[in-house]
Amino acid sequence: MKSLPENILYSVLENADLYPEDKGLYFKIKCPSCGHKEAFIYKNNFIISCSRKNKCGFSGSIEDLINNDPEIRKKIAKTKTIFLDKKEKIKETSKLIIPNNTRFFSEESKGFIYNQALSYLQKRKIHKNVINELGYVCNPNKNIKLGIFIPFFEDKKLVYYVIRNINKKSKFRFINPKEVKSSEFLFNYDKFLENETICIFEGLFDAMSIENFVGTAMLTSSLSKPQASKIFDKSPKRIIYIPDNDLAGVTSLERNINLLNYYKPPSLKTDIYIWRVPKEYKDFNEYCIKENYHEINIIDCKIFNKRKKNIIMKRKSPL
């Protein structure tokens, strides 16, 4: 079987009375063999596997279910609607337009506006390689005279952006595209590498400050379902969660990690760590500015222990 649309796959599982539950990259289902709801099927390979390896260990193709049940085949043929699952369906953003007056730091043309925007980023200790990926916008609206253009790419396509006002005194801090929701996307998604470390921050400047790992940003204190699912697209070796030092950051910590565990595929051995910013700093970017240090050492992190529902120190080990 070369391919099976997600909506059809869900229909097959539902009509086979396997009670599918969407977990992002895979469906959790009832095992066709032992009857326990501890089996799973990835959306891109169509092999059903039971997690009860010692007691069941069933493994079989979804194609067998279709071929062995004429009623399922009939229902599949009639299925024409699009399945909307727990993940919010990402809107098509190929027509997302870069705001007028946007210039990029990688361009050769420079001047007063360029220097003003560059100075802001340098004061926030953003690395020059990161700066070259950003832009700046003059007068994007009546409330912002100059802003930093921060693009989001997925598969090399612009899917979202944030314009950050460089005027700290202004109450207008950000401009976002109205066509899409920020909760549907992850900053630096195209930089995620298989079996590597991903750092999750609240803010973009925190994510741009980390230099020894890839950083991404939730843009709020709450991780969304689409973001939690996308984190595992490249099968990370570990995830380091870095909350801000405020009430929202503290209160949302366990909820966000529980959401990550909910969407983590059962076959992945990804450990989820926590690194706390020293109390005297409000977030990671401020820490980097004051300490002039842009790295996180894994031996300084704590690992979230889901079984004990607490946080314990992990045994120190080299990277």
Domains of the chain in start order, with CATH, are 6-78 (no CATH), 90-182 (no CATH), 186-319 (3.40.1360.10)
Q: pLDDT category, 136, cuts 50, 70, 90?
A: very high
pLDDT for the residue 309:
46
- Mean pLDDT across 250-271: 91
pLDDT for the residue 215:
97
Contacts of 108 (CB under 8 A, 6+ apart): none
Q: Which two tokens stand for residue 201?
A: 């921050």
CB 263 within 8 A of CB 272: no
Count Cα atoms within 13 angstroms, Cβ side, for 238: 19
pLDDT per residue as tens digits for the range 221-244: 999 999 999 999 989 999 999 999
- Mean pLDDT across 179-197: 92
First and final CA of the chain: distance in angstroms?
40
- Mean pLDDT across 251-278: 92
pLDDT for the residue 134:
94
Q: Which DSSP category does 82 fall into?
A: P
The amino acid at residue 300 is: D
Q: pLDDT category, 141, cuts 50, 70, 90?
A: confident
Q: pLDDT category, 8, cuts 50, 70, 90?
A: low
CA distance 251 to 118: 35
CA distance 227 to 148: 23
pLDDT for the residue 315:
33
Q: pLDDT category, 319, cuts 50, 70, 90?
A: very low
pLDDT for the residue 94:
42
Residue 282 has pLDDT above 80, yes or no: yes
pLDDT for the residue 305:
66
Q: pLDDT category, 291, cuts 50, 70, 90?
A: very high
pLDDT for the residue 7:
63
> What SS3 state is found at 26?
strand
pTM (predicted TM-score): 0.68
CA angle, 116 then 120 then 122, to 5°? 115
- Segment 124-129 long-range contacts (CB within 8 Å, at least 24 positions apart): 124/205, 124/209, 124/285, 124/289, 125/209, 125/285, 125/288, 125/289, 125/292, 125/294, 126/205, 126/208, 126/209, 127/208, 127/211, 127/294
Residue 37 has pLDDT above 50, yes or no: yes
Sign of CA dihedral 105, 108, 109, 114: positive
Residue 317 has pLDDT above 60, yes or no: no
- Mean pLDDT of the residues in the chain: 82
